[in-house]
Amino acid sequence: MMQAKGFVLVVCLCFIAMVSSMALSALTISQLSQRIGMAGQLQTQRYLSMKVKHLRQLQQLASTPLAAASRTQCPPEYAVWTSKAQQCQLVQFGGKAIAAADAEPWGSVLWRKELSAVQRGQL
């Protein structure tokens, strides 16, 4: 009878250990999935804030005329017009990460072109 009670005790302890390990693994998986979800949400927020900053810079750029000092020769893709009729500007701008929680630094390069009316005889 004593051997049977000892065997039942060992089986119960093994069962408790098995159930505890299954519960611990379920809790670990749920915690990891929550962290992954929070990381994805944070990444999306950073990406959207970077896009908003970028669009603000583009809007500011669109409202300013081409600066005479920064004009350059237009790329060959715009060779349809004569060089006197078009003005191009290579604009490079970007953002910097101010804090560790900000998005990573980014940059953009943009060709701006402006066509002007050329009267006959000025070519």
Q: Can you tell me the distance from the alpha carbon of 24 to that of 28, in angstroms, rounded to the nearest whole number? A: 6
Looking at per-residue pLDDT, the higher value among 105 and 55 belongs to 55
For residues 97 and 107, is the Cβ–Cβ distance under 8 A?
Answer: no
Range list of β-strands (E), 5-117: 71-72, 86-95, 106-115
Q: Which residue has the higher pLDDT, 5 or 68?
A: 5
Model pTM score: 0.47
How large is the average pLDDT for residues 59-79? 68
Sign of CA dihedral 5, 10, 15, 21: positive
In this model, does residue 121 exceed pLDDT 90?
A: no
